[in-house]
Amino acid sequence: MAKFYEIYPMRGGFFRNLSINSALILINLVAFAFFGILLLSKIIPIDFIAIRPSNILSGKYLWTFLTSMFMHGGFFHIFANMFSLFFIGSLVERILGPKRYLYFYLASGIFASLFFVMLSLVFKGDFNTYAVGASGALFGLIGFLMVITPNLPVFMMFIPIPIKMKYAAPGILVVLWIISSAGEIPIGNTAHLGGLIAGLGYGLYLKHVYKNKTRYIRRYFS
């Protein structure tokens, strides 16, 4: 992380003028339509795309660590995730640069899914619950900003005033947990927590290795 990076364009073809974050959003949208067609047409079962602890623990469908990140459970699900990714991801890409941002995004999503599977084993939860969506990776970005830009003012859902990132990040996690518990809504809270932990870990690592640069970033976005 040698400096603040500009959003470098991707070279070649249609993606020439897209940032990594814009490309990720586009891929998510295309995958949502593509996977939806395959599932509605019953060409493949959901086990081929969504992550399920029983499958992973049996050594099956291991590629779903990746495919589940680009599948969503409905229009509102993908809209909420992509809307958040548009703003949060753009900022993180500026800080990390395109390549590091891409690797970090994918690693956060995979770690979130792994955390989801491991906690279902530890707490003997429902091994047949499916998990999909970009929110694990998204919470990785949120956790990262919580460390690198803790005083960055952001708007949290349903609250009309800006809140510092260091308070908003855990606040979003708690609110989603309450909503899912009170309304019995299937939200991947453990995957969100896993993504947040991955982001916090990477942020703390960079804060330790690049003390001066991260201090400058923290002041710049305060």
- 199 in Cβ contact with 146 (< 8 Å): yes
Residue 169: φ, ψ to 5°: -60, -55
- 207 token code pair: 């804060």
Which entry of 68, 135, 208, 222 is annotated as an active-site residue?
135
Reply yes or no on whether 77 is catalytic.
no
Tell me the CA distances in angstroms from 91 to 27, 42, 52, 86, 183, one per residue in order: 19, 39, 31, 9, 32
Which entry of 58, 192, 208, 222 is annotated as an active-site residue?
192
Reply yes or no on whether 90 is catalytic.
no
- Residues near 82 by beta carbon (within 8 Å), at least 6 away in sequence: 25, 28, 29, 134
- 145 token code pair: 């900003």
With H, G, I as helix, E, B as strand and everything else as coil, classify residue 71.
coil
Amino acid code (one letter) for 93 = E
Residue 126: φ, ψ to 5°: -80, 105
Tell me the CA distances in angstroms from 98 to 148, 195, 205, one per residue in order: 17, 19, 19
Following CA atoms 35, 51, 106, 30 in sequence, which dihedral angle do they give, to the nearest 10 degrees? 10
* Residues labelled catalytic: 135, 192
